[in-house]
Structure 1
């Protein structure tokens, strides 16, 4: 999938029953995680961390859903391990079943360098962030052997939500509350009106495009 495309509104079976992805995300933001298989060590640490960070995602109006290439019945047993690893009381987000790997193929989530016991490509660790308009806003594809950085996912969600409504971009290593950059499309009086504390960094080219501003409210 390409950024800006409508995220597929698949009908799926999950640990919380049958649902359609758009309906589940509702009017807010959504984040879709994929996993190679149940009972895999890295995945267990990841979903345990997702559950611990539910309050942070909820604060940002983000719903989570995961996919793993096993059945719902397998997911149920795996959830017990996820809870035990993280000392958790529940796994509150749904996990989609995909034993045939139809969805994994459809979403382009196969890692050709990592194979399962049958010699088939493992499902890569994909992350898709979906906006309220149901369009894909960000995708990250990790190899099957590399766990995700969930602090980074919160950071990019903060950036996506800020830049969706304010005429700014976020620079390298930006963190919430840090200085932002005024979009090049914002010119002249509009820039000074919207960003009265804007500062322009001098660069050798002499072009005044490195424009910084405190994060808009």
Structure 2
């Protein structure tokens, strides 16, 4: 079954380069991001995990844990981290799941149930394991994005999306296209004008169903 937005993620127990973890315990009361990759020692993935390592302070500011996923084994992950850190110029302190039996990849609907890893496989055999999953403290999936193997992920967009999710959840608002922290937000249609005035003060009515306001300080 597909994992959809607002579904609770499965509480799998997985092996990582930092030991055995439960997904629900890993998330805890934090936000979490799962970055999946089809194979260790691949060029695009190495640059991506290097970028994740560079952003360690940004994840921490947002109370967000990072968990990598690749379908290779623990020992490969440990060796790969040396390359990741050389490319990124930063310590890769996050764990990477060794999803050698594809349990996690299938549970998150990145691979079909009948998928397997053939001898002498290439990244193409697990190409769809190229996704980002943002998970809330309630253990529910809040956002997912899937990329092809040839296009590196834009981590500025991942941060922007995380900011939008946290703002929406914390302030009871929505965010417009191209929104960044500090920009005006959208007042939900379920909020009356009187309630909007009480919460936001001034707001702008662009259309009867589109009202914009600045978040209160």
TM value normalised by structure 2: 0.90
Which one of 97, 102, 127 corresponds to residue 132 of structure 2? 127
The answer as to 2:168 corresponding to 1:163 is yes
* Aligned partner of residue 99 in structure 1, secondary structure: coil
Tell me, yes or no, if the aligned pair for 2:163 and 2:181 is still in contact at 8 Å. Answer: yes
Q: 1:216 to 1:36 in 2, by over 3 A?
A: farther
Deviation at 1:120, TM superposition (A): 2.9
| 1:75-94 paired onto structure 2 within 5 Å | 75-88=77-90, 90-94=91-95
Tell me, yes or no, if the aligned pair for 2:49 and 2:88 is still in contact at 8 Å. Answer: no
Tell me, yes or no, if the aligned pair for 2:50 and 2:88 is still in contact at 8 Å. Answer: yes
Give me the whole-angstrom Cα distance separating, in 1, the residues matched to 2:74 and 2:147: 24
Tell me, yes or no, if the aligned pair for 2:200 and 2:215 is still in contact at 8 Å. Answer: no
Tell me, which stretches of 5 or more residues in structure 2 are unaligned? Answer: none
Q: 1:48 to 1:155 in 2, by over 3 A?
A: same
Cross-structure match for 1:24: 26
Cross-structure match for 2:73: 71
Tell me, yes or no, if the aligned pair for 1:104 and 1:123 is still in contact at 8 Å. Answer: no
Cross-structure match for 2:192: 187
Deviation at 1:103, TM superposition (A): 2.1
Tell me, which stretches of 5 or more residues in structure 1 are unaligned? Answer: none
Give me the whole-angstrom Cα distance separating, in 1, the residues matched to 2:40 and 2:134: 22
TM value normalised by structure 1: 0.90
Give me the whole-angstrom Cα distance separating, in 1, the residues matched to 2:187 and 2:38: 40
Deviation at 1:209, TM superposition (A): 1.8
* Aligned partner of residue 36 in structure 2, secondary structure: strand
Tell me, yes or no, if the aligned pair for 1:124 and 1:144 is still in contact at 8 Å. Answer: no
Tell me, yes or no, if the aligned pair for 1:124 and 1:143 is still in contact at 8 Å. Answer: no
* Aligned partner of residue 169 in structure 1, secondary structure: coil
